[in-house]
A and B are shown apart, each in its own frame.
Chain A
Amino acid sequence: MTSEEIREVIIDILTDIAPDEELGDLKDDVAFRDQLELDSMDFLDIVMELRKRYRVQVPEEDYGELASMQSTVAYLEPKMQDLEKA
Chain B
Amino acid sequence: MISLPADEQRIVITGIGLTAPNGNSMGEFRESLLAGRSGVVPYEIRYVGETLAGVCDFDELRYQKRKEVRRGTRAGSVGIYCGHEAVLDSGVDWENTDRSRVGIYVGVTEHGNVETENEVYELKGYDYDTQFWSHHHNPRTVANNPAGEISLNMGITGPHYSIGAACAAGNAGLIQGAQMLRLGDCDLAICGGVSESVRTFGIFASFKSQGALAEHEDATRASRPFDVNRNGIVVAEGGCLYVLERFSDARRRGAKIYGELVGYAINSDASDFVLPNPDRQAECVQLALRRAGLEPGQIDIVSTHATGTSSGDAQECAALRKVFASSERTHFNNTKSFIGHAMGAAGALELTGNLAAFDDGVCHPTINVDELDPECAIDRLVCGEPRELGTVDFILNNSFGMLGINSAVIIKRL
Please tell me if the beta carbons of B135 and A41 are within 8 angstroms of each other in the complex.
yes
Please tell me if the beta carbons of A18 and B67 are within 8 angstroms of each other in the complex.
yes
Q: Is B100 an interface residue (CB 8 A)?
A: no
Q: Is B253 an interface residue (CB 8 A)?
A: no
Interface size classification for chain B: 10 to 19
Main secondary structure of the interface of B (DSSP, over half): helix
Please tell me if the beta carbons of B67 and A20 are within 8 angstroms of each other in the complex.
yes
Q: Which residues 48-85 in A have Cβ within 8 Å of B in the complex?
A: 48, 51-52
Whole-angstrom distance between the Cβ of B149 and the nearest chain A Cβ: 14
Q: Mark B129-153, 1 if CB is under 8 A from A, else 0.
A: 0011011100100000000000000
Q: Is A44 an interface residue (CB 8 A)?
A: yes
**Complex formed: what's the CA distance from A17 to B66 in Å?**
9
Q: Is B252 an interface residue (CB 8 A)?
A: no
Main secondary structure of the interface of A (DSSP, over half): helix
Contacts of A17 in B (CB 8 A): 67, 70
Contacts of A24 in B (CB 8 A): none
Contacts of A51 in B (CB 8 A): 131-132
Please tell me if the beta carbons of A41 and B136 are within 8 angstroms of each other in the complex.
yes
Count residues of chain A with CB under 8 A from any CB of chain B. 12
Q: Which residues 136-182 in B have Cβ within 8 Å of A in the complex?
A: 136, 139
Please tell me if the beta carbons of B132 and A48 are within 8 angstroms of each other in the complex.
yes
Q: Mark B106-145, 1 if CB is under 8 A from A, else 0.
A: 0000000000000000000010000110111001000000
Known A41-B71, A41-B136; contact A19-B131, beta-carbon cutoff 8 A: no
Please tell me if the beta carbons of B67 and A19 are within 8 angstroms of each other in the complex.
yes
Contacts of A44 in B (CB 8 A): 135
Q: Is B62 an interface residue (CB 8 A)?
A: no
Q: Which residues 1-41 in A have Cβ within 8 Å of B in the complex?
A: 16-20, 37, 41
**Partner pick for A20 among B65, B131, B132, B135, CB 8 A cutoff:** B65
Please tell me if the beta carbons of B70 and A48 are within 8 angstroms of each other in the complex.
no
**Partner pick for A48 among B67, B71, B134, CB 8 A cutoff:** B134
**Complex formed: what's the CA distance from A50 to B131 in Å?**
12
Contacts of B66 in A (CB 8 A): 19-20
Across the two chains, which residue of chain A brings its CB closest to B129?
Answer: A51
**Complex formed: what's the CA distance from A44 to B66 in Å?**
18
**Complex formed: what's the CA distance from A44 to B139 in Å?**
14
Please tell me if the beta carbons of A52 and B136 are within 8 angstroms of each other in the complex.
no
Across the two chains, which residue of chain A brings its CB closest to B61?
Answer: A20
Across the two chains, which residue of chain B brings its CB closest to A16?
Answer: B70
Please tell me if the beta carbons of B65 and A48 are within 8 angstroms of each other in the complex.
no
Whole-angstrom distance between the Cβ of B60 and the nearest chain A Cβ: 12
Contacts of B131 in A (CB 8 A): 51
**Complex formed: what's the CA distance from A19 to B64 in Å?**
12
Whole-angstrom distance between the Cβ of A72 and the nearest chain B Cβ: 19
Report A's interface with B, CB cutoff 8 A: 16-20, 37, 41, 44-45, 48, 51-52
Beyond the given pairs A20-B66, A41-B135, 4 more chain A to chain B contacts, judged by CB atoms under 8 angstroms and listed by A's residue number, are: A37-B67, A44-B135, A45-B135, A51-B132
In the complex, the 4 A-B pairs of residues with the closest C-beta atoms, listed nearest first = A19-B66, A20-B65, A44-B135, A20-B66
A/B interface sample: 24 pairs, CB < 8 A: A16-B70, A17-B67, A17-B70, A18-B67, A19-B66, A19-B67, A19-B70, A20-B65, A20-B66, A20-B67, A37-B67, A41-B71, A41-B135, A41-B136, A41-B139, A44-B135, A45-B135, A48-B132, A48-B134, A48-B135, A51-B131, A51-B132, A52-B126, A52-B132
